[in-house]
Amino acid sequence: MLKNIGPAILIFCLTALSAGAAFAADGASNEDLLRARELSKSVNAFAFDLYKEIAKEEKGSIFFSPLSISMALALAYEGATGETREEMKKVLHYNDNIGTRFKAYIEMVNKVPKESGKLYVANGIWADWSVTLLSNYVIKIKRDYGSEVKKLDFRKRAHVASVINKWIEDKTRGKIKGIVDERSEMSWAMSIINAVYFQAFWMEPFPEINTRKKTFYCTPTMTEQVDMMYSQKTISYSETDDFQAISLPYKNWRYSMVVVLPREHQKLGKLENNISDIEFRKILASFKEYRVNVYLPKFRTEKAYPLKKQLMKLGLKQAFKRGANFNYIGTASNGGLYIDEVLHKSVIETTETHTKATAVTEVRLGVVLSPGKTTDIKEFRADHPFLYLIIDNVARTILFIGRYVDN
């Protein structure tokens, strides 16, 4: 027997990353560059807010894409009004023209030469036949977000799961599979999905011959053996009494991985509590060029988060209620749309040559981010938990943020 579909929205955020010149906007206009940098303020502020909430409960490694989550929720925000819209605007640090900023950023990254590292962004909306989407909403999300919009019979669970899972697998280059379970109740009426795939090669690889098994201190009393990469590099470096930080560039300098290592294991919590967009920008501004002996573990992290709880703690409450106002999206035959859950899945793999990362965010609706040079040689030995961020150096946007604790 086919089950009736409720008026809920399910949001999926999916990201995959694989990593291994002078800055340029790669053909973007000055106006688009300014818009993209305005977007970075929203994404970066949200990145640290959400990171802190996840870190309160997650004791192991962390990895997610604030860009993916923010963009997926923006597709719902474009159809929100009243208190629902104001809450989303505040929590996600949006402004009234968030759509034009995402549009500018998507167009800008699409112009980046592949040899600089490739960032693929894709958006898709699947709605049940019981949902009538407003033409103005469809036009806007297609124009500003390049989103696909399709209708499916959500009562046919196997078909819906197959269609959406194939789209996700294609967009994440096979890194994320099977996020929609055909055995689930699938009582939502609409899925909003954002997928981000990133792959880039290090400007200067770590020689594989230098990789050795080394001790990594997960905690002061718990250790594991890891494949520790090593290379002496001329890179951006900064230090304080509390931490060291480096920036490892990918080819052509468009993207880089910033690694922040607390001086002592016990100071990781303090670093996490104090980090913010403003503090992170201070770290970037303090970088100077040094020769650095870099020790960094090879690692692969795969994480999946239902984010409803964390988003509600940040103040996003109305959107999850049956009284939410998403009237500018459209109407369902049996009630008003509301967000049922926001699901995020992400994968990162870092090796001697490259980094790959993938993330997918799904929003399910139900009805109802030039140094000075020095000659000192520094040592950066990441043999205990550290923070890392993959950033767009042109737009200054945080694409991915994580904490490495163990494999």
- Out of 93-97, 178-182, 184-188, 263-267, the most confident range is 93-97
Q: How many CB atoms lie within 10 A of CB 279?
A: 11
Q: Could you tell me if residue 2 is inside a domain?
A: no
Burial 103-129 (b: 16+ CB within 10 A, else e): bbbbbbbeebeeebbbbbbbbbbbbbe
- In a domain, residue 296? The reply is yes
- Please count the CA atoms within 13 angstroms of the CA of 107 that sit on its side-chain side: 18
Measured CA to CA, the distance from residue 359 to residue 148 in angstroms comes to 18
Give the range with max mean pLDDT: 20-29, 32-41, 183-192, 241-250: 241-250
Tell me what the mean pLDDT of segment 124-144 comes to.
94
Query: Which whole number is the average pLDDT over 269-281?
Result: 92
Residue 89 lies in a domain: yes
pTM: 0.92
Instruction: Provide, rounded to the nearest whole percent, the portion of the chain with pLDDT above 90.
Output: 61
Residue 3 belongs to a domain: no
CATH number at residue 243: 3.30.497.10
pLDDT band at 221 (very low <50, low <70, confident <90, very high): confident
For residue 1, tell me if it sits in a domain: no
Mean pLDDT of 92-110: 92
Q: Considering the domain boundaries, does residue 209 fall inside one?
A: yes
Q: Is residue 178 part of a domain?
A: yes
**Number of domains comprising the chain:** 1
User: Best-predicted range by mean pLDDT among 18-32, 46-60, 343-357?
Assistant: 46-60
Listed in order, strand segments (DSSP E) in 20-147 are 62-64, 118-128, 131-133
**Model confidence over 292-313: pLDDT tens digits?**
999 999 999 999 999 999 999 9
CB within 8 Å of 30: residues ≥ 6 apart: none
> How does the average pLDDT of the chain come out, rounded?
88
Q: Which domain holds residue 400?
A: 8-404
Binned at pLDDT 50, 70 and 90, residue 369 comes out as very low
Q: Does residue 68 lie within any of the structural domains?
A: yes
